[in-house]
C-alpha cells in the first residue's frame, strides 16, 4: 500500500477544495495538498459501529464541511450553473421553508413503501440563486433508523440544501414506518437507498403520485449528493456501485469517518479505549489488516459473554462465550485483554454473531483447539460470514464504483480522534483513500481545505 508520510486531521470545519487542487490528477501529492491541518479533538467517542450507537447524535463536522466545500469552484462548476439556467427562464419559484413526510414505492419496502422526510429552505435562503441542491442523508450505525417526527434542525438546510432522510426497510414507528424486511444493510437496504435517490432526483413519484420538484419547485434535482455518516459509507458505496439508477441521480458522495471494510465495521483493531495488541500500525492495505500472531493468541472462553444488540428493536442479547486475544498466554481472559466485537445479523432463526471475514478465517483454522465440541450455535459458518460481508463491505465495491461512475465527486471527512476507531495510524481513512486512488478515481479528497 502506498503510504502517506504525514497525515493531519481536523475536527471542525473544512472550507473547501481549491481550484488548483481540483485540476490535479489523483496521487499522493494531490492528497497531501487536500489534508487540512488540525490538532483538536472531535467526534463522538461514545459511538461504536459494532453496537449501532452512532445513528442519531453526530458532530456537525460533516454538515459544516459539505456546506463550505460545495461553495468552491470545484463543485460549483459552470455545468451546475448551466443546469440552473436551463431549469427556468425566470427567477426561482418562491418557496417558503418547510418539511413533509411521505412514502415512496420500492420493491424493498412492501406495500407501505419507504418512509421519507424532506426538509427544505425558503427560496431566499437557497444556495444557488434561489435554487437548492438536494442531499440524501445515509445514516450510520446498524439499525434501520427512522425519520424525524417533525422538521429537524439541519445545518445543511440552513446552508440552502434540500435534505432527504429516510428509514430503511422495517425501520420507523407506526404510520411513519417503512415497509419491508430489514436485512442488516444488505441488498434490500441498498435497493431502498437507490429508490430514495431516484426520488431525490425527481425520477420517482411518491405513493401519492407526486415527485419531489412538484412539492419543492426550487429543488435543484440535477445536483443530488449523498452524505454518509460512519457505517453509512458502506451502504452508500454498495448502493452506488450496484444500482445504475442511483449513480445516475447522485453527483457527489461525502463520508464522515466511515469504516469502509469489515475489520473496521467490527472494530477488530480496537476502539479509542481498547486497542487490539496484535495489530501493528502501518500494516493495513486496501485488502485487509494482517495479524500474523493472532492464530497463536486467540482464545475462546466458554464461560465468558458477548453482548449483541438486535438492531431492529434495540434489544440486547447476551451470548454464552467470547473470543479474545490472550496477550499474556495465561489461557484465561484477564483484565485489559482485547475481546472481539462482531455485529448482529440474521442466522435464521434468530440472530447470529458476525465477525469480520478475516477473523472468521482464523477461528476456522483454530477451531479444533478453540472449541471443546461443537462451535457456538450463534456463530455462523465461514461461508455464511463471507457471503454476509460480500453484500455489505463497501471496500469490495470501490473499484467497481469508480469504473461505473468516474464523474462522482468523493469527499472523506475525518478527525484526529475518530468517534470509534482507535489506532493511531487511522488505517480506515488511509485504506479508503488508497482504494479510490488505486482505482485512479478522478476526484477524491480527504478533509478538503482552501
**Residues whose CB is less than 8 angstroms from the CB of residue 309 and which lie 6 or more positions away in sequence, other chains included:** 51, 52, 315, 316, 317, 344
pLDDT of residue 68: 55
pLDDT of residue 126: 97
- pLDDT of 272 strictly over 60: yes
- pLDDT of 42 strictly over 50: no
Beta strand 219-229 with 132-138: parallel, antiparallel or unpaired?
A: parallel
Give CA–CA dist 113/192, Å, rounded.
9
Q: State the DSSP code for 49.
A: G
What DSSP string describes 198-245? HHHTT-S--TTS--HHHHSTTEEEEEEEEEEETTHHHHHHHHHHH-HH
Q: What is the rounded average pLDDT for all residues in the chain?
A: 85
Q: Which has the closest alpha carbon to 425: 231, 317, 264?
A: 264
Count of CB atoms situated within 10 Å of the CB of 334: 11
Give CA–CA dist 151/163, Å, rounded.
10
Sign of CA dihedral 415, 316, 173, 191: positive
| DSSP alpha helix (H) spans, 250-329 | 262-265, 294-297
Contact between residue 355 and residue 264 where contact means Cβ atoms under 8 Å apart: no
- pLDDT of 84 strictly over 80: no
pLDDT of residue 375: 94
- pLDDT of 368-378, one tens digit each? 999 998 999 99
- pLDDT of 170-208, one tens digit each? 999 998 999 999 999 999 999 999 999 999 999 999 999
Decide which of 379 and 16 is more confident: 379
Contact between residue 259 and residue 428 where contact means Cβ atoms under 8 Å apart: yes
Most confident by average pLDDT, 28-37, 60-69, 238-247: 238-247
Global pTM value: 0.85
Q: What are the extents of the domains in the chain? A: 19-261+393-446, 275-390
- pLDDT of 308-349, one tens digit each? 999 998 899 999 999 999 999 999 999 999 999 999 999 988
Query: Residue 275, exposed/middle/buried by CB under 10 A (0-12, 13-18, 19+)?
Result: middle
Report residue 350's pLDDT band, with 50, 70 and 90 as the boundaries: confident
- pLDDT of 396-434, one tens digit each? 999 999 999 999 999 999 999 999 999 999 999 999 999
Cell 469508480 belongs to 402
In degrees, rounded to 5, the angle at the alpha carbon of residue 242 between the alpha carbons of residues 433 and 353 is 75
Count of CB atoms situated within 10 Å of the CB of 315: 10
- pLDDT of 211 strictly over 90: yes
pLDDT of residue 23: 32
- pLDDT of 121-178, one tens digit each? 999 999 999 999 999 999 999 999 999 888 888 899 999 999 999 999 999 999 899 9
Q: Does the 19-261+393-446 domain belong in CATH 3.30.360.10?
A: no
Give CA–CA dist 374/217, Å, rounded.
61
Give CA–CA dist 10/417, Å, rounded.
9
Give CA–CA dist 227/207, Å, rounded.
25
- pLDDT of 2 strictly over 70: no
In degrees, rounded to 5, the angle at the alpha carbon of residue 7 between the alpha carbons of residues 419 and 137 is 40
Amino acid at each position: 500500500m502506498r503510504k502517506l508520510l504525514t497525515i493531519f486531521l481536523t475536527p471542525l470545519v473544512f472550507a473547501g477544495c481549491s481550484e488548483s487542487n481540483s485540476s490535479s490528477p489523483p496521487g499522493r501529492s494531490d492528497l497531501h495538498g487536500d489534508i487540512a491541518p488540525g490538532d483538536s479533538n472531535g467526534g463522538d467517542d461514545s459511538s461504536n459501529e459494532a453496537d449501532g450507537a452512532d445513528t442519531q447524535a453526530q458532530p456537525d463536522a460533516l454538515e459544516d464541511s459539505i456546506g463550505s466545500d460545495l461553495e468552491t469552484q470545484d463543485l460549483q462548476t459552470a455545468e451546475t450553473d448551466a443546469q440552473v439556467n436551463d431549469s427556468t427562464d425566470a427567477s426561482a419559484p418562491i418557496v417558503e421553508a418547510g418539511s413533509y413526510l411521505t412514502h415512496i414505492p420500492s420493491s424493498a419496502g412492501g406495500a407501505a413503501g419507504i418512509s421519507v422526510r424532506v426538509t427544505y429552505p425558503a427560496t431566499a435562503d437557497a444556495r444557488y440563486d434561489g435554487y437548492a441542491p438536494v442531499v440524501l442523508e445515509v445514516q450510520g450505525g446498524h439499525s434501520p433508523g427512522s425519520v424525524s417526527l417533525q422538521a429537524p434542525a439541519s445545518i445543511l438546510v440552513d446552508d440552502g440544501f434540500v435534505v432527504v432522510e429516510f428509514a430503511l426497510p422495517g425501520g420507523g414507528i407506526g404510520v411513519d414506518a417503512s415497509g419491508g424486511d430489514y436485512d442488516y444493510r444488505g441488498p434490500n437496504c441498498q435497493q431502498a437507498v437507490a429508490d430514495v435517490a431516484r426520488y431525490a432526483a425527481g425520477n420517482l413519484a411518491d405513493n401519492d403520485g407526486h415527485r419531489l420538484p412538484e412539492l419543492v419547485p426550487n429543488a435543484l434535482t440535477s445536483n443530488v449528493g449523498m452524505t454518509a455518516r460512519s457505517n453509512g459509507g458502506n451502504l452508500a458505496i454498495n448502493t452506488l456501485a450496484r444500482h445504475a439508477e442511483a449513480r445516475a441521480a447522485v453527483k457527489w458522495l461525502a463520508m464522515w469517518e466511515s469504516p469502509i471494510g469489515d475489520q473496521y465495521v467490527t472494530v477488530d483493531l480496537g476502539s479509542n479505549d481498547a486497542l487490539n495488541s496484535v495489530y501493528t500500525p502501518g500494516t493495513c492495505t486496501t485488502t485487509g489488516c494482517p495479524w500474523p500472531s493472532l492464530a497463536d493468541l486467540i482464545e475462546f472462553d466458554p464461560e465468558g459473554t458477548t453482548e449483541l444488540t438486535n438492531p431492529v428493536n434495540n434489544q440486547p442479547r447476551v451470548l454464552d462465550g467470547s473470543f479474545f486475544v490472550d496477550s499474556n498466554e495465561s489461557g484465561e481472559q484477564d483484565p485489559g485483554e482485547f475481546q472481539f466485537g462482531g455485529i448482529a445479523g440474521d442466522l435464521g432463526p434468530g440472530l447470529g454473531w458476525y465477525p469480520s471475514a478475516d477473523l472468521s478465517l482464523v477461528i476456522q483454522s483454530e477451531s479444533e483447539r478453540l472449541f471443546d465440541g461443537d462451535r457456538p450455535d450463534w456463530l455462523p459458518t465461514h461461508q455464511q460470514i463471507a457471503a454476509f460481508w460480500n453484500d455489505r463491505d463497501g471496500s469490495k465495491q470501490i473499484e467497481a464504483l469508480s469504473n461505473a461512475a468516474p464523474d462522482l465527486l468523493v469527499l472523506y471527512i475525518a478527525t484526529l480522534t475518530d468517534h470509534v476507531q482507535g489506532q493511531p495510524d487511522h488505517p480506515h481513512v488511509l485504506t479508503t483513500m488508497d482504494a479510490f486512488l488505486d482505482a485512479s478515481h478522478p476526484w477524491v479528497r480527504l478533509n478538503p481545505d482552501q
